[in-house]
Chains A and B, each alone.
Chain A
């Protein structure tokens, strides 16, 4: 193995990343942890309150409700994006102009900004003028307000999120598929494996590292969902779509409770970290 000539060499090479990590990651978390022990409304000076903020979000049930909602939303997004992304990758992993066009089209949704996506879907789902409503009207169904019903709002937001990030999952899976040598697939064909067996025993095990990566990143993306909520529902109806990040936003900018928001942020960090860790471990074990 190569050894650094001076102990400081690896140090300064890592410095730029380390500085970025400190400024944008470690310091904010530190500040959030610190502020979570204060009560502050941005106007009057902060007051130290100990663990009162944590106790409050826990006792009021707010933390549990928000976490549960976000988990439900994330589960839909992760399974949706991964399964559709994988299916598309398998379907579109061929040569030809047509396939390359469809691949680009699917991926293009990922490049569009979250706000634009949210506005687009808001328009599509508009109960009066949206094309979904018009289509349902033609089919004889009276206007449904998918975004205005507590039971449908989260699946709809999850659908929109899946629509946007599936292109990303697809590209990652395509890259994984292309790393599988053709010879291996052909050997499996000669060994008597049909399409399903080839997928089940050869392709899928070889895609597992890609799957772990896509799973974890889409978990993080879905946990951080904010713009869709902000633009499409503002957390409603009846807080049914108040996801974690939106709840934090609400505490600061609407309720002016920095302490509560900070406590939520710390909780958010802990939940997301442990989920990612669990997920990566689970995938490793199955391999």
Chain B
């Protein structure tokens, strides 16, 4: 039985004229860490808020440990949420902030003190306990918000872009810590993020949402290597996957400037090629370099071939310049095929 089960959630806001959630279904197993990603406005926060009980669904069910909780108020769902803006109580000290959920649950003072101190040690904020939120840095506030969530020992953690207000270095540091902490506590977590790196590195499974629907739900590796839809393929990966118009002709898929052998359904309308799946060669398809993005460890090279713009990834700094003529190796080892609806089409084994 899944620990969290969302079944066919629908949500329409009074002010909005479209459905914020069209049909959101998601099962999360106990102890699993799930990342929820998707473009802005696709309904990630709304999904979390409905699960937490801060918002009501128009249709669909929310099950926690197999029990329907649609009508259970948020404070009785045993869910803790870490907000993007941290949502610390400004008039309370760090200790009081962390102790607030315990105080509300009438936990004895001695036990509360112990739990707060344990959490503070775990989060390395033991020295900050008597400060107020405005005396803390962003990263420290984030730790306190985490602390307030973990002292409760809830059955589910929800995170709504908890690191998005921090600088890149701190994000990388904290994402490792958060994932480790949640795993150590053995709790179930749903983590909304815009950051692909966070989703890929932290999660056991990634749910990709678009326009109020969960389009794909799989391990990070499967999501990346075998994206369920063209949207998912384009959303995950940086630079984005090259998506080319395609058609099947006999035993070939033609996707200008490429043509691949194909042994599968003839419904293919798009072919996707990851930038790292494309290579440069001494001879092959002629192309012209039109852009270079050197990042140090790798360079993203933008080329035009046969009127088609493609991005490929090369190691280190590219030796090319803009305007150079290059050749693309004509048959990348790996490609992704999608039909008219954007659904993945597999080759016959």
Contacts and interface: CB of A to CB of B under 8 A. Distances in A.
Chain A partners chain B? yes
Interface of A: 181, 183-184, 186-194, 197, 201-202, 205-206, 208, 287
A192 B85 contact: no
Max count, chain B CB within 10 A of own CB: residue among A190, A206, A208, A287 = A190
A192 B83 contact: no
A33 B83 CA distance: 59
Contact of B100 (A181, A183, A186, A201): A201
Interface of B: 52-54, 73-75, 79-81, 83-85, 87-92, 100-101, 104-105, 148, 152
A192 B104 contact: yes
Max count, chain A CB within 10 A of own CB: residue among B53, B75, B80 = B75
A190 to B, nearest CB: 5
A205 B91 contact: yes
A206 B88 CA distance: 12
A96 to B, nearest CB: 10
Nearest to A191: B101
B91 A206 contact: yes
Contacts of A194: 75
A183 B75 contact: no
A184 B97 CA distance: 11
Given A189-B75, A190-B101, A193-B75, 4 more contacts: A188-B89, A190-B81, A192-B101, A193-B104
B345 to A, nearest CB: 43
Contacts of B54: 186, 189-190
Contact of B85 (A181, A197, A201, A202): A181
30 contacts: A181-B85, A183-B83, A183-B87, A184-B87, A184-B90, A186-B83, A186-B87, A187-B83, A189-B53, A189-B74, A190-B52, A190-B53, A190-B54, A190-B75, A190-B79, A190-B81, A190-B101, A191-B101, A191-B148, A192-B101, A192-B104, A192-B105, A197-B104, A201-B89, A201-B92, A202-B91, A205-B92, A206-B90, A206-B91, A287-B91
Contacts of A197: 104
B45 to A, nearest CB: 11
Given A190-B79, A192-B105, A183 B74 contact: no
A31 B88 CA distance: 52
Contacts of B85: 181, 183
A165 B17 CA distance: 41
A192 B87 contact: no
What 9 A-B pairs are tightest by C-beta distance, nearest first?
Answer: A192-B104, A205-B91, A191-B101, A187-B87, A183-B87, A192-B75, A183-B83, A189-B74, A184-B87
A192 B52 CA distance: 12
A208 B80 CA distance: 28
A188 B100 contact: yes
A181 B91 contact: no
Contacts of B80: 190
Nearest to B154: A190
A287 B85 CA distance: 24
Contacts of A183: 83-85, 87
Nearest to B105: A192
A197 B105 CA distance: 11
A182 B83 CA distance: 11
Contacts of B88: 184, 187
Contacts of B152: 191
A184 B75 contact: no
B83 A191 contact: no
Contacts of A287: 91
A193 B81 CA distance: 14
Contacts of A206: 90-91
B74 A190 contact: yes
A181 B81 CA distance: 15
A191 B100 contact: yes
A275 B188 CA distance: 56
Nearest to B91: A205
A193 B104 CA distance: 6
Nearest to A182: B87
